Amino acid sequence: MKTIIIFESLHGSTEKCANKLMELINDDITIVRLQENENVSIDDYDKVIIGGSIHMGVIQNRIEDFIKKNHNQLAEKKLGMYLCCMEEGETAQIQFNKAYPEELRKKALATGIFGGEFNLKKMNFFEKRFTRKATGIRSSVSKINEEEIRKFALRMREGIS
Ligand SMILES: Cc1cc2nc3c(=O)[nH]c(=O)nc-3n(C[C@H](O)[C@H](O)[C@H](O)COP(=O)(O)O)c2cc1C
């Protein structure tokens, strides 16, 4: 079975998760960053994984546009969708539900909220100011949930929903 992971990432967390999934799923896998190929075709793949991250409450436009353009085809695939964000619990779930359409969420083989990182070194002046004001943090924070990534990979690998 062929798998493709399609992601977008501002400072690298979603990309890290994509690489981790590739390692764990251990299939014939292609990874594509939408910024580098917005018109990527999913024709040749049985399994499709989409990963994005949340900034100011929303997922990247490129992910949204890709899903809109490929919605019907995605609904026919063995689909996985994950999100990187720093909110947890109900707020994270609300962000996830807003980011990915209900029909695809219901059909998906795997969905996952993988946590995220605040990497101050990679932020520009405005991002740093926003993050410091919103969270009070003074140094970088990482809370990527490896266990969630493992569970997601297992569901995608075994094809169980
Ligand atoms: C400017 C900025 C705004 C953010 N806004 C949110 C937010 O609204 N909700 C949230 O859960 N996380 C928010 N985050 C945290 C990101 O989702 C987190 O940094 C994630 O790891 C980013 O992944 P990426 O580097 O792959 O884009 C924000 C981060 C930054 C830098």
Question: How far is the C-alpha of 140 from the C-alpha of 134, rounded, in Å?
Answer: 14
**Residue ranges per domain, the chain?**
2-158
Q: What is residue 160's predicted lDDT score, i.e. its pLDDT? A: 65
Nearest to 82 by CA among 138, 23, 129, 145: 145
Q: What is residue 161's predicted lDDT score, i.e. its pLDDT? A: 56
- What the block records as the tokens of 111 is 């969905």
Cα dihedral sign, 22-106-38-12? negative
Q: What is residue 127's predicted lDDT score, i.e. its pLDDT? A: 96
Q: Which amino acid is at 75?
A: A
- Please name the fold of domain 2-158: Rossmann fold (3.40.50)
CA-closest residue to ligand 1 atom 5:
55
Q: Which amino acid is at 142?
A: S
Q: What is residue 4's predicted lDDT score, i.e. its pLDDT? A: 97
Indicate if ligand 1 lies below 6 Å from the C-beta of 13: yes
Q: Is 24 exposed, middle or buried (0-12, 13-18, 19+ CB in 10 A)?
A: middle
Indicate if ligand 1 lies below 6 Å from the C-beta of 83: no
Evaluate if pTM is beyond 0.85: yes
Q: Are 97 and 105 in contact (CB under 8 A)?
A: yes
DSSP one-letter code for 8: -
Q: Which residues of the chain have pLDDT under 70?
A: 160-161
**For residue 22, how far is its CA from the centre of ligand 1 (angstroms)?**
22
Helices (H), the chain: 13-25, 61-75, 89-99, 102-107, 125-135, 146-158
Question: How far is the C-alpha of 3 from the C-alpha of 43, rounded, in Å?
Answer: 11
